[in-house]
Structures are given as C-alpha cells and as structure tokens.
Amino acid sequence: MDAALFTQAELRFLVCRLSTYRDVSVSISHSLIAQIAQEVKGVFVDFAFLPPPKDMEIMNDSKIPLWLGITTKEPACAFDILGISNSFVLELLNLPGLLHFSGIPIFKNKRMIRPDIPLIILGGANAAVTSVLHGPIKDQGFENNYGLVDAVIIGEGEHAIKQFLEIVKEGKSLGLSKAEILNSCHGKVDGFYEPDKYEHQYTMIVQNYSEQELGEKTGSEQVEKPSPSSSLCEKETKIPLSNEKGLVGIVPREPYVSYPVKGAIVYNLDQTKTMESCPLWYDPESLGTGSLQISNGCPCFCAFCAESWERKPYRERSLPKLLEGLRSAKAHQGLDTVNLLSFNFNTHEELYPMVLSFYEETANISLKSQRFDLLSTDRFLVEVLQIIGKTTVSCGMEGISERLRRYLHKNLTEEQVYKACEFLFERGIRELKIFLISTGLEQEEDFLEFEKFVKRLADLKSMCRSNVRSIFSLTPLYYSPHTPLEFHTCITVLEDTKKIRKKVEHICKLHGMEFRESASHEESWLTQLLAMGDRRLTPALVRSSITDGFTYYNNIPNQIIKTWRTYLTELGLSEGHYFRAKGKDHIFPWDDIDLGVSKKFLWEEYERSIHFRERDYCLGRPQVEAQCLGCGACPTGAQIKKITRHKASQPFLLEELHRISESKRNRIIVRLIAEIEPSMRLVPKRFIGIAVARALMLTIPDVVPYYHSLSGHLRDFDGDKATTDFTYGINVYDLAFLSKERIGELLNYESLSQKLADIQQHCRGFRIKEFVLNRGNILDVKYILYRVHWNTDFTRSFIEQKMGEYLHAHYVKHTLLKRKDRTIFKVNAKNKKNAVVLYTEINTTSPLEKSDAEFSVFMIVAKRFDIQTFLETFYGFGRRRELIRTKIEALGYYGKYPDLQKSIRCISCGDYIQETFLAGQPFIEHHCLMCSIKSEYISQYQ
C-alpha cells in the first residue's frame, strides 16, 4: 500500500513475522492476511520481519525498534494491531525479544493499561500449538505478569480476520478500551481465543516409570498408559524420576467465553479468495511464481501429520473459481508460473481439466506434493507431468517398512511405491525425492525390508535406463499435538536416533541413492518440548529470548538441550513429564481448543497405531468404496457424502495437451526500455520486468489470458557468475505473449503508446521509456556503457591507481592520458578485441549533479566484465561490505557487426565502426562508440 495512506487510515495493521524476510517473504501466509485485511474499508496494512543477525546487532545498538513497517518505516508502536503470523514451533523462541526490543511490553497485563500500545494478535499454521506463550511469570524481575499475546485466532482466517478488524475498528471509533474490544470479540470472531480467560489448574503428581510400568497409581493421580502392545512394550524407554505438578483441569474464567474454542474453518472455499493480490517480493527465485490454493484439509489419517487432523474436513475449490483466481493472481503478481497449493494435488476431483485450463493460460504449472498410492494407479498423470515439463517429483513413503507405515497410518504398500516409481522412471523424470520418517521403533526386519526395496529400486532404474537423481530424506518423527501421536512417548527425542540414520544412509548409498537428514536432534528435541509444553514454560521462553539473548535463525546450537534442561530444573519441571506416554483421559494444555476431530477418535487411532493397524482413508476414488470413519470433522451428512463419493475427473486426450504445448511456441515479443531509479539499484533486475508485466495486465485486462512470461532481460554482469547486479539506469525487457487472434489489436505500438501513462501509474521506482514490438530474441549485448559514482573518500589519485591495477591484472594494455580535469585510460587498438574494458575516463562531478561523489568514471566494458571483481580491486578485502555503496549507472547497450562487415569508418578517429546501437545512449552519426562517448557524454555531464 502507498505509505502516504498510513496517516489517513482508520485502522493500522502491521503483519509481523517471527523469521527473516529472506526466509519467509515468499510464504503466502502474511500476503494472504494482508489481502484479507485490505478488503476491510479503512484498514492500512504493512509488514515487519525479524531482522537478520547483522541488522539485529546494529538496530539494537542504535535503539531502533526491531519490528519496523517495510513500507512506512514506522515502528510497531505506531500501529493499532500487530498480527503475528506463526508458521512453525521454533519461531516462538523469537517472540519475547521481538516484542521487547520493538518497544512493546511483553506482558498482556502491562499492555492493556497502555492505550498507546497496539493489540497483539497471533495466528497462523502453528497457532493451536502455542501454550508456552500464555503462562504467568513471577520471577526474573518480571513480578506477577502473564500473556505474551493478547489473543489468538485459531484456524482459518479468511472470515475471522475480517470479523476481528471490523470489531476493532468500530471499538476504536467508539473510544472503547482494548479490554472492552477484546471482550466484544467472543462469539463474534470465528476461532477467537483469549488465553487468560481460561485457568489451567495444576496439582502434584509422582512419576517413576517406564513404558512397561505405566498404569500404576501414585497418590490420587492415575499415571496414564497406552493400550498394551507386545511390539512396543519390547522397546522400553526409561523416563527419569519426577515429582512435579501436572495439568489436571482447565476452567473458563468468564461465562461469555466458549469452551472449548472451536477453530475457524471455511467449509465452502468458493466463498473466499485464494492468494491473488500481494506485494512483489524481492526474491529472485520466486518472482513470477505464485501459489493458488486448490484445496484445504486432507482426507487421509496419517498419524504423524498435523495437517491430516487440524485442517479437516477435506475441501476443494471449483474449477470456475480457480480460473477466476488464476487470472486475477496472474495480473496482480505478474505470474508466468502457478503452483497448485494443496497437501496432495492429485486428490482434487477436477485435476485434469484444471491442468489443461491452467496450462493453456500460464507458461508453467508447478505440482509439488502428491501421494504414491494415487500415482501408482494413474500412469496417465505421469505422462501429463512430462508434457508440462514437470521433471522433479516429491512423494512421502514415510516408514521404511510396511509395518512402520501401518504404525504411521500411511495406507501405502511397497508395491504401490514401486509401481509409481516404475511409471516415473519410464517417463524419464530428472529427480525423485522420497521422504522417510525415523520412528525409533525400527527393528532389524524393517531395515532388511528397506534394503530389499532400495536394491529393487536401483535395479528398476537400471532396467529403465533411467538417470533419475534419487534422494531419500529422513526426518525424526514429530509427535504433534492434535494428532493420535500426542498420546505417545516421544521416543525420537528421548533416545539417540543416530544408529537409525546411519543404517538408512548406508543402505541408500550402497545402492547409488542420495541421502539427506532434514532435522538435527537439537531441533527435534526443542520443537517437541515447545509443542508439548504447557504454560509453565513461558518463563523459560522469556529467559531464553531476553535474558540470554537467543534468537532462532534456522539453527539450534549443540548446547541448547543442556541450557533448556537447566531452565526446566529451575522451574521444577522435567522433559520426562512432557515426553512421556499419556493416557486416554490425560488433559493436554490445548484441550481448551477444538479443531474438529474428537479426542475420543484420536485415542482410538492411537491404539490402532501402537498395534500396527490402520484403516483406509475416507476419500472416494477409483476401485475404492470409501466410508466415513466418524472423526467428527464434517458438520453435515452432505459434507460426508461429498468426500466419500468423491469422483476424479476423466483424463483428457493427450493430443489436447500437445496442441497447447505446440501453440505456446508461437509468441510475439513486446520489448520495453526502462529507466531504473537509483533507489531501486539493489533490486533484482527480474523484479522490474515482472512489475512491468503486472502493470501491463492491470491496465489492459484483456491481455491476461495471452501473457506468457518475461522471456528475457539484460543483466549487467556475466550470468554464469554468482555476483550481485546493483546497477541502475537503462535496462531492456522482453515480455512474451501468445500469438492468438486478438493479441494484434491489443498490443500494437499505437495502443501501447496511448496507454503508457496508465501503465506507468502501476510502476514505482522506474520509468518506462518506450515499447517496441519485436519478434526476435533478447538483445545480443557485446558492450555496456557505465558511469560509476565512487565513495566520497576516494581521491582521484587513488581511483587512477586502482584502475591501473585492475587493467594490468586483466592484461588490458593501455595508455594513460591526462587532460585538464580528465584522466583517460586509452586501450590499445590491437588489445580491444579481447579486453574486458575498452575505454575509461575519470571526471570531476559537476556541482549541478545530484551526487555526493567528487569523481565519476565513464567506462565502456565487454559483457564478460564482472562488477564485483572490479569493485573488490578498489575496496579490498577489509572494506568488501562497502561494495554496494558504489552507484553504477547503466547508460547504454551496444552490439557488434560481424568481423567481415567493415564498410564505414569513424569520421573522428578513422577506425571502422564495429559497434551497433541497441538501447540507451545512441551514437553520434558517423562516429564509433568510443568517439561518441568522448564527444557527447563528457560535454553532457560537465
């Protein structure tokens, strides 16, 4: 949003992330929150992220609030609401410090009496697993305080966020206090949970048991046990002696609050928008790629998977709504690639017509997550994937044996996995990634079965003559709340699973497969503790973040377990209390939240797991007569029938897909010349091209179905080098459109010229100079004209010295000429053919120019010239971080005539004119490039 609207807004909403911009900018969660919020009239939305480590240090030293609006640069305190999006458990480690060092009191009771402090609301995928945020703190100098957040929105926010913002906006206009506004949200905002309105009661219990000893009574407390299983009871997990309080009850403090709080859910996805309008994030890999949520929830009952249980029932968006959303998202985000967002895309009823329609309207379709069992019965899908260019496939096998897959309720046999792999290898996919889970229950027969399978897979690759890159990725089992495994002993964090990892790794590598481990023991241990933890862990969280200053940046150090065990001991707690097995009637810290699946059903499925039994999932599919399992998530019989009688659409003829693929080869190119402002010099060059495509489609909506991609743009450095391109000035972009019947009348020079001003209104930080219709490829650049503005502490003599060093180091023979206030490095004529620099001139900056630099340098360089290497010559190793302070303006791009074409000589120097003008600063008539620069540019800039 335009920062100028901030002061005019009725309500200011800051969407806050607990991770860095680089890590989560491409996540759809905060963008979707912003899209929903902007639909409420009068709401201004901005974003804030965890600063990266070096920025964090500078900001703390300078007393700059850590959470700053990226658009407004306003501190968190300037907003009315902070909406915290929490995606995964470990992010919670950062919350206390981000609040504290953003000038926000970390406790709710302190915030409620301060009208100048915003409301703190938390939501996101992990919102239902945040008990550790809500407890009291009576030590560490914090007195008797409670509540790191004011309220939580549990579940899906498409309706709930709007409801909440409307109530806050109205309450603010009426002058209500924050406490009064929160009170009015109960019963009116779906999934609204105010933690301090629920009392969690604890009493002393005594524990000293193993899994075999569970069930003995100690005092008045039943020590819970799972149903007996010989297989599990053979594996004894010792849990240390513990005398501590346990949670025995949850009581609502007020009569007007719901108990339990039912998570918000959107039963009809067609009533809400998918992710359509969002900022263009400065992430080079994701620019032009957007996600379209085709379904929500999961029809399967994998015992380990939170999404299988927290997001039920399974729901789909209809194809007409998806097409409507696709066209809107394509225009608002400049998309050429769409990712079908789903927990398993191949469960969607309209998958095939969807693929056909989307492929016709976008350059690429990204299909990521799918089930092996469905793939094993659908060879046609593999052929479709090949035609649309999908060469990387990811699937979950999970358990290394069928016994362990039954324990995990995966509903997957070895033959299904093998058959799916056979289809994939036959079609020549490039990469297959198979996800595994180590359960801690692996026995020798499981490893033998896995080795037999991997050898079989290797033989299949050889038989199919496949060069597919096969990767097995192993993750320790996470016992997620709200799933059947919440009752289970957390074996994978109580025991060292290195032996399991080493055995699986050995088997994979023995048969030519790659192996990866996706989580360390420290990450698993702390994730499990924070997830299973109750409100008594809040002091430890605050101590870790503020007192001890720990910030989570995708890594948990080795000493973390020791540190947190110290916290637990000082609080009179133990890991054994949280990681032990729980009984049927155990009270969990999240029992005041209802996500739809009954606790009774979770227990029944847990008992099936520990007996290595499973039931088929409830989604109707070919050759399977599905039945409702009675989980309780579906609100009506009609919803149950919709899932159990689910019917996949019939495949289309492959000839239709081939026809679309062939028609995409016929494209027209709209070339545009853009002038990038200095403020945008650190932005990826591709960003500007995507922004222009977006502007064009928003201005001329009729071209949206025909837009194909940003087919090319000029980069001011060698594309094979991993260097940063931070130039500004002239750049050239080619936008490709499908050559169809109406495109000629929509995109001709006259219509584009007439709409140029309207298109420009959607552009910030750059100016479109002109459009050129061109069917050719991207410009063949041989030379680039730069103007370099140096730091103010660089003297002329220093620049001359370093320029000479650079030219000598790159074997550029030259002559140094000094004329008045100009220094010229004239490259010898015989050396120009292979030189990286063809001409250099140092000048004194004119007082009329808006530049802090005293000197600037004009340079004509070959395309293989590397900016970073050049600048490192000047700054050296010690000042290498200052490279980006140099301002480099691209003034023009030039090609080259073939060597045999030497018909025209330069009237100034007499040499043949070998260069051709492409974009930017043109030649002087009958002058070569070098003489044009000397005659034209020097006089222009002095």
> Looking at residue 675, which CATH number applies to its domain?
3.30.70
Residue 22 neighbours by CB under 8 Å, 6+ apart: 52, 283
CA torsion, ordered 282, 283, 288, 291, to nearest 10 deg: -110
- What is the CATH number for 449? 3.20.20.70
Task: List pLDDT tens digits, range 312-368.
Answer: 999 999 999 999 999 999 999 999 999 999 988 889 999 999 999 999 999 999 887
Whether residue 628 is found in the same domain as residue 713: no
Whether residue 862 is found in the same domain as residue 726: no
**Residue matched to tokens 């929509």:** 746
Among residues of the chain, what percentage have pLDDT more than 90? 67
Which tokens sit at 444? 């020798």
pLDDT score of 723 more than 50: no
pLDDT band at 140 (very low <50, low <70, confident <90, very high): low
pLDDT score of 509 more than 50: yes
Amino acid at 155: G
Distance CA 307, CA 867 (A): 47
- What is the CATH number for 805? 3.30.310
Whether residue 180 is found in the same domain as residue 39: yes
Whether residue 869 is found in the same domain as residue 742: no
Of 262, 292, 308, which residue is a domain's last? Answer: 262
- The DSSP code for 601 is H
Contact 307, 621 (CB under 8 A): no
Among residues of the chain, what percentage have pLDDT more than 70? 91
Please calculate the CA angle 692-698-700 and round it to the nearest 5 degrees.
100
pLDDT score of 896 more than 90: no
pLDDT band at 837 (very low <50, low <70, confident <90, very high): very high
Nearest of 531, 477, 574, 474 to residue 240 by alpha carbon: 574
pLDDT score of 721 more than 60: no
Residue 728 in any domain: the answer is yes
- Residue 11 has a pLDDT of 97
What's the Cα-to-Cα distance from 80 to each of 8, 119, 534, 678, 713, rounded to whole Å? 13, 6, 29, 33, 42
Reduce the DSSP state of residue 148 to 3 states and report it: coil
Distance CA 658, CA 99 (A): 55
Contact 475, 518 (CB under 8 A): yes
Q: Where are the beta strands (DSSP E) in 235-308?
A: 242-252, 261-262, 289-293, 295-296
Residue 909 in any domain: the answer is no
Task: Give the β-pairing of 151-153 and 192-193.
Answer: antiparallel
- Residue 219 has a pLDDT of 32
Torsions phi, psi for 895 (to 5 deg): -105, -160
Which tokens sit at 358? 């989307």
- The highest-confidence range among 242-256, 396-410, 895-909, by mean pLDDT, is 396-410
Whether residue 195 is found in the same domain as residue 306: no
Amino acid at 655: E
- The DSSP code for 558 is T
Helix extents (H) in 682-726: 685-699
Prior bond to 313 cis, omega within 30?
yes
Whether residue 173 is found in the same domain as residue 304: no
Contact 89, 527 (CB under 8 A): yes
Residue 612, sorted as left (phi over 0), alpha (psi -120 to 50) or beta, turns out to be: left
Reduce the DSSP state of residue 146 to 3 states and report it: strand
Whether residue 299 is found in the same domain as residue 255: no
The mean pLDDT value of the chain amounts to: 89
pLDDT score of 152 more than 90: yes
CA quadruple 292, 297, 303, 305: dihedral sign: positive
Return the H-helix or E-strand segment holding 392.
strand 392-398
Q: How many residues does the chain have?
A: 942
pLDDT band at 902 (very low <50, low <70, confident <90, very high): low
Whether residue 475 is found in the same domain as residue 326: yes
Least confident of 40-44, 118-122, 816-820: 816-820
Query: CB 913: neighbour CB atoms within 10 A?
Result: 21
What's the Cα-to-Cα distance from 899 to each of 628, 828, 896, 915, rounded to whole Å? 76, 18, 8, 11
Residue 400 in any domain: the answer is yes
Domain range enclosing 684: 666-774
CA torsion, ordered 558, 562, 565, 566, to nearest 10 deg: -130
pLDDT score of 710 more than 80: yes
CA 579 to chain centre: 31
Whether residue 54 is found in the same domain as residue 142: yes
- Residue 908 has a pLDDT of 85
- The highest-confidence range among 255-259, 732-736, 837-841, by mean pLDDT, is 255-259
pLDDT score of 232 more than 80: no
Distance CA 790, CA 549 (A): 38
Distance CA 346, CA 350 (A): 9
Whether residue 430 is found in the same domain as residue 353: yes
Distance CA 280, CA 286 (A): 9
Least confident of 381-395, 675-689, 821-835: 821-835
Largest CA distance in the chain: 105
Task: List pLDDT tens digits, range 369-379.
Answer: 789 999 999 99
Task: Give the β-pairing of 727-738 and 315-316.
Answer: unpaired
Of 724, 741, 774, which residue is a domain's last? Answer: 774
Residue 339 neighbours by CB under 8 Å, 6+ apart: 289, 290, 291, 292, 365, 366, 367, 368
Contact 849, 839 (CB under 8 A): no
Residue 174 neighbours by CB under 8 Å, 6+ apart: none
Residue 689 in any domain: the answer is yes
Q: Number of structural domains, the chain?
A: 4
- Residue 488 has a pLDDT of 97
Task: List pLDDT tens digits, range 619-651.
Answer: 998 878 899 999 999 999 999 999 999 988 888
- What is the CATH number for 251? 3.40.50.2300
Residue 921 in any domain: the answer is no
Residue 116 in any domain: the answer is yes
- Residue 339 has a pLDDT of 93
Torsions phi, psi for 887 (to 5 deg): -100, 120
**Residue matched to tokens 């009576």:** 138
Whether residue 414 is found in the same domain as residue 301: yes
Residue 933 in any domain: the answer is no
Residue 903 in any domain: the answer is no
Whether residue 17 is found in the same domain as residue 70: yes
Residue 572, sorted as left (phi over 0), alpha (psi -120 to 50) or beta, turns out to be: left
Of 581, 613, 645, which residue is a domain's last? Answer: 645
- Residue 237 has a pLDDT of 52
What's the Cα-to-Cα distance from 927 to each of 190, 267, 357, 828, 834, rounded to whole Å? 72, 70, 53, 18, 22
